[in-house]
Amino acid sequence: MIAVDTNILARFYVDDPNDPEADRQRPIARAIMTESPSLFVPLTVALELEWVLRAFYRFESAQVGCVFEHLLGLGHVNTEESERVAAALSLAADGMDFADALHLTASQHCEALYTFDDRRFARRARRLGCAPPVQVPTDETL
Is 78:39 a contact under the CB 8 Å cutoff? yes
Single pTM value for the model? 0.87
pLDDT at position 124 is: 83
pLDDT at position 115 is: 86
Span 52-96, pLDDT tens digits: 999 999 999 899 999 999 999 999 999 999 999 999 999 999 888
Q: Where are the domains of the chain?
A: 2-95, 107-142
Residue 9, pLDDT > 70, answer yes
Distance between CA atoms of 47 and 16, rounded to whole angstroms? 20
Distance between CA atoms of 133 and 123, rounded to whole angstroms? 10
